[in-house]
Structure 1
């Protein structure tokens, strides 16, 4: 592909938006078909059931790590200027934000990406939660919640550079990153085989991980071949959600971005996956999972994601694939926060049948 000619013909904003649309279509389709969901994986783990949901998440995460590190080792990608590594970061924000996000995703029964995927499947609960998430993310970025975010983020900061890279801190390189990701990929494959996961779980999980690598590669190539300053960026949903909210509320004419194409791409990709699998179904609020719980959970996720510097995909997978220190702390916080929330909020009553969130239909958020 002649990136320079394409950029000169279309312009950087259009190319970035098209890349976002392409990545979004793939991510939405694969995530929908595989039922990719961090919340479901977290609950299975803490319940001691290393089953299908955990296998899918591990397949996606390990694939992202291996693919991204292979691109770096092959000289096709350089993430040194990515904000997760080059900019000043917050360790306190990563830890606290990850914990808060983990609690929120259990309350809403899905992380930010899962809510968008389910919205395209006709789930009105997920649609409402996604809207509240976007409003809270924007309020945390530059609104009424911003002072709180800045205060917590200032407790413990780390300068950009080697201190923000786990590989640099360990004195190793991308080949070691590939080996680490490969170990997890073998583990994921074992779990998937042991649980007799169907073909869509395998293909969807691996495909979801490849979309993380494609996002890094696409934006890097635009940056490398552009005469204008372009920031390399990965796959995330907190920033683009807030961006789309402001585009709806503000005057038209804003420049096109990667996030502008990403969000509708994920929606359309998930819709296609739902139609292929005949999963489209209009759903509202019912049962014990009431509207207040979803709203509070979405607020926690919106604030937590902006405090941590990313959502379950943005920090957990995208940042984790480049071994950003803050991203791994965020991911750990999400696993701990999600496990605690499930234990406290969804713990079955004594003597009742174990019907925790992990036993509920995977199609619900």
Structure 2
């Protein structure tokens, strides 16, 4: 029996809504497991790059990024995947939203000591700081989507827009083709391998980073395959993101039935479960709280910036920075660069410029301590 036949049989047995939700759950579990084992985190990668240290965090991010881009483009070249109807490419986008929202998200993840996906992973292993920050992130994202902050978000998004289709497709704009995009990913994968060997990044840095990136590509493939088999409901082609899904899960919990079953509803609890399993197997479950009022204010401010910024930009560090970048969406790449730039500036402004040179932190080790917030 072919994969398509197996999928059709599953959809007939459990229904289309449960099939797409279970797909999100399964992919989320694997993403959470790999993210926890590898310490995948854009914030850590940016800090390592900005401070010119060599602890392997940037290398892990490069593995995830290159794998996501490479596998996604390979699926397209093989004819297994068509992302032309995906929201990130087909719909009208906002360049102003990408710039402003990306910058806000980048600053926020420095303040909160982790992006939205990292907060979820850390919360699963007992980090109460991340749990509170994640809840605030979800509340602000919900308020930005259709609540009190929605008018401000819409106003900022409308300042500079771009039509969907070829105008948002960097592959079409640059003319590199999907083969060129695959080669681009290959260059970054080679760089990741080079730095991993030079820095002696441990096994789970390699495997976990590759696993995270693979889940992004597999999510694109799975949602596309299910969308082609569905008849009773419209299923969008999508990949991993955590701004909209966090809002969906919050609404489901606070006002059931909330959102209908869909990929995002399975994704968030799946990531939590996968991260919990990985932490439990490694003996890394540990309750951690805040250390004073200033730390709490910093985390809350970061969560607010990420919640509004992620919704304004149309994606988080994973949703825009990896998933959107994997299909070469113009606004996703703008968001990614804005995140990097704002995060580097915020790290300098809030932390580095207050550190005397003689007390500057040493280069991070390749294996981050299990108690580290990110």
TM bucket normalised to smaller: over 0.9
1:46 and 2:50 equivalent? yes
User: For residues 141-188 of structure 1, what are the alpha-carbon distances to aligned partners after superposition, in whole Å with 9 as ceiling and x for unaligned?
Assistant: 001111111111111100000010110001132111110000000011
Q: Distance in 2 between matches of 1:356 and 1:103?
A: 23
Q: Distance in 1 between matches of 2:192 and 2:58?
A: 8
User: For residues 62-104 of structure 1, what are the alpha-carbon distances to aligned partners after superposition, in whole Å with 9 as ceiling and x for unaligned?
Assistant: 0000000000000000000000000000011001111100000
Q: Which residue of 2 aligns with 1:181?
A: 185
User: For residues 217-271 of structure 1, what are the alpha-carbon distances to aligned partners after superposition, in whole Å with 9 as ceiling and x for unaligned?
Assistant: 1110010111132111110000110001111111327521111111111001001
1:353 and 2:353 equivalent? no
- Say which of 161, 171, 193 aligns to 2:175: 171
Q: Which residue of 2 aligns with 1:89?
A: 93
1:219 and 2:220 equivalent? no
Alignment of 1:237-276 (within 5 A): 237-252=242-257, 254-276=259-281
Q: Which residue of 2 aligns with 1:204?
A: 208
- Say which of 1, 16, 20 aligns to 1:16: 20
Q: Which residue of 1 aligns with 2:9?
A: 5
Q: Which residue of 1 aligns with 2:288?
A: 283
Q: Distance in 2 between matches of 1:45 and 1:289?
A: 26
How far the C-alpha of 1:351 sits from its partner, in A, is 4.9
Distance 1:319 1:12, change over 3 A: same
Alignment of 1:330-349 (within 5 A): 330-347=335-352, 348-349=354-355
TM-score (norm 2): 0.94
Kindly indicate whether the alpha-carbon contact (under 8 Å) linking 1:223 and 1:229 is maintained by their aligned counterparts in 2: yes
Distance 1:335 1:208, change over 3 A: same
Paired residues, number: 365
Query: Please, which runs of 5 or more residues in structure 2 have no aligned partner?
Result: none
Q: Which residue of 2 aligns with 1:364?
A: 373
- Say which of 228, 233, 242 aligns to 2:238: 233
Q: Distance in 1 between matches of 2:369 and 2:145?
A: 34
- Say which of 320, 326, 330 aligns to 1:315: 320
Kindly indicate whether the alpha-carbon contact (under 8 Å) linking 1:120 and 1:268 is maintained by their aligned counterparts in 2: yes
1:306 and 2:272 equivalent? no
